Each structure stands twice: as structure tokens, then as C-alpha cells.
Amino acid sequence: MEFVHESVLLEEVLEGLAVRPDGIYIDGTLGGGGHSYEIARRLTEGGSLIGIDQDEEALAAARKRLAPFSERVRFVHDNYENMDRVALDFLAETPGGTGKINGILLDLGVSSYQLDNPERGFSYRTDAPLDMRMDRGAALSAQDIVNTCSQQELTRILRDYGEERCAAKIAAGIVRAREDAPLTTTGQLVEIVEHSIPMKMRERGGNPCKRTFQAIRIACNRELEVLEDSLDRMIGLLAPGGRLCIITFHSLEDRIVKNAFRRNEKPCICPPEFPVCVCGRVSRGRVVTRKPILPGKEELARNRRSASAKLRIFERNEM
């Protein structure tokens, strides 16, 4: 199956990154290389792009797509949580480099390829092995989660990561079903969810399985944990005036990004009645996007999966 994924908010990302021809950029979620192709196309001989992805199939597709710019692109099979190490290794090899990164992009969530490829187990629309690993070499799969987590932990995952109102009922259904035999397919999970959600609730809000599959995928890939732990370190990698652009696809991700950007812009923790700051925390930059940038009508008509996308941008202080 060919790795096809339409880049969301492409023009907005390019404008947000304000790509310098001689700059160093990192795409921490390379995917099929759609955003990175346009970044690399704008670089000159002195510019570089580091593409990171934990999905080896995505990396293979990106290598083909970015072949015209191979001399200025480095491909790394890793999770973006290790971006600081990847960046520092690269900068150490760059003679006369700035020692900092001019722009970083994250396009979060699952790609169209991963959703549409049945064997990856991300979709509730086809019966397939319960996998959901973005890195297929990772130890933990969705099958492990549904078969080994306690009922209490499953309830927490579905409630916190999927905002599922019937989390307790679905968790109880999973535990009952696995007592007979381990759950191994997406079809089995779909059946449990459909039997656990009352008909009235199933009739509104789209497919009743969407939130459960989202929650288990997030838990399987540690998506929110990695995001929360990485943002401050990514801002620290930026050169003066460098920008961090992040596209999110659900409220949990967006809230983490929004709060981290605000905290780095206004880190002071002094009580408001203090006449001057005494905590010593200094702003690291500014939030460029007071409100997130959303897809326009043309993009929404062209790509329905862009509907929930939000772009936020942070710019590092001129030091």
C-alpha cells in the first residue's frame, strides 16, 4: 500500500516557520514528507532538514519523496521525544553551524496511511489485528493494553484520553470478553463498544468507536506523555527568532500545547500583588497565535480529515 497523506495547513505552516534558505529545520513527525518537501524546496546549499519519524514505512516513503533534496535532508528513525539528542548530534557535525535550530514542526496524530492500512489496526472500519503501534518495533501494542490492563486502568484510559462518557461500561465489557479468550482484532473491540453504549448515545456524535480507538492508540504510543515532556526542550533548541509550529487534532493535545506556550511566554509565578518579579523566571519567547489557525473552506472541502486540525506557533526570544 502506497504511503499517501495530504499535508494539513501546508501554506500556514510554511508561513509560520518563515523558512530561511540557510536555516536548520526539524520535522519531528515526518510522515510521508509532505510538509518537509516544501521546507526542503526552500532551502539552499547552506540549509538542512532533519526528518524524524518512528514509523519505518513513513520514513521509506519520505526518502522517495524527498530524493531531489537528499543532500540537505537527514532521516532519523526515532520518536520526537529524543529530538534534543538528534539535534545536538547533527549540530556537532555541522562546521560553523549556529548551534541552534531555526524551526521545528510537529504534525500530531495518526496519518491517513496508518488509518487506511487495515493491517496497522488503527481503524474501527475494518476488522484487523489489534496493533495501533506507530513504531512497529515497539513492545507495547493495543492488544497488550486491552488484555492486560485492569478494569480501573482501562476506564481511566478511555475517560482521560478519549473523553468517553461510557468509559466504565466499555472497560467492564472488555474485561468480561477477555475472560473467555484474549481480544486480538479490531472487530472484537468494535463489538464490545457498540454493546456498551446505549442506542440513544450511538445515534449522535459520529461513530461510537471513535473515542475508544483514539484513547487506546494514545495510550499505546504514549502520545500525550511524549508531547508534554518534549515541548520545553524543543523550545530550548530554537535559535533566536526560531519558531515551533504544532498541528494538533484533538482537544487534549491542543490544551497541552496551549498551556506550554503560555508558560514559556509568561513563566513568572510571583503572586499578582508583588510589585516586581522575584521568582527569576524569564520569558523564553512569545506566542505568535493567540488563537489557533484553522483550515480554510477550500482545504475543508478538499480534505475532510483536516476538520479538527489546529495550528499553534511559538517564537523564541531574540537573545
DSSP assignment of 68-85: GGGGGEEEEES-GGGHHH
Q: 262, 309, 308, 258: which is closest to 283 by C-alpha?
A: 262
Percent of residues, the chain, with pLDDT higher than 70: 96
Which helix (H) or strand (E) segment is 25 a member of?
Answer: strand 24-27
pLDDT digits (tens, 9 = 90+) for 305-315: 899 999 999 99
Residue 203, pLDDT score: 58
pLDDT digits (tens, 9 = 90+) for 185-219: 999 999 999 999 987 776 566 788 999 999 999 99
Amino acid at 79: N
Residue 269, pLDDT score: 86
User: Per-domain residue ranges for the chain?
Assistant: 10-112+223-316, 121-221
What average pLDDT does this structure show over 166-179?
97
Do 242 and 102 contact (CB within 8 A), yes or no?
yes
Q: 7, 69, 1: which is closest to 32 by C-alpha?
A: 7
Do 311 and 287 contact (CB within 8 A), yes or no?
no
Do 286 and 315 contact (CB within 8 A), yes or no?
yes
What average pLDDT does this structure show over 31-43?
96
Do 163 and 211 contact (CB within 8 A), yes or no?
yes
Superfamily of domain 10-112+223-316: Vaccinia Virus protein VP39 (3.40.50.150)
Residue 5, pLDDT score: 59
Which of 149-153, 210-214, 261-265, 269-273 shows the lowest per-residue confidence on average (mean pLDDT)?
269-273
Say what the alpha-carbon torsion angle 148, 82, 67, 309 is, to the nearest 10 degrees.
70
Question: How does the average pLDDT of the chain come out, rounded?
Answer: 93
Q: What is the CATH number of domain 121-221?
A: 1.10.150.170
Residue 319, pLDDT score: 63
**Residue 118 vs residue 190, higher pLDDT:** 190
pLDDT digits (tens, 9 = 90+) for 128-150: 999 999 999 999 999 999 999 99
The radius of gyration of the chain's CA atoms, rounded to the nearest angstrom, is 21
pLDDT above 60: residue 91: yes
Which grid cell sits at 190?
468494535
Residue 97, pLDDT score: 55
**Residue 46 vs residue 173, higher pLDDT:** 173
Do 205 and 55 contact (CB within 8 A), yes or no?
no
Residue 273, pLDDT score: 84
pLDDT digits (tens, 9 = 90+) for 8-21: 999 999 999 999 99
The whole-angstrom separation of Cα 248 and Cα 108 is 5
Do 201 and 208 contact (CB within 8 A), yes or no?
yes
Residue 118, pLDDT score: 87
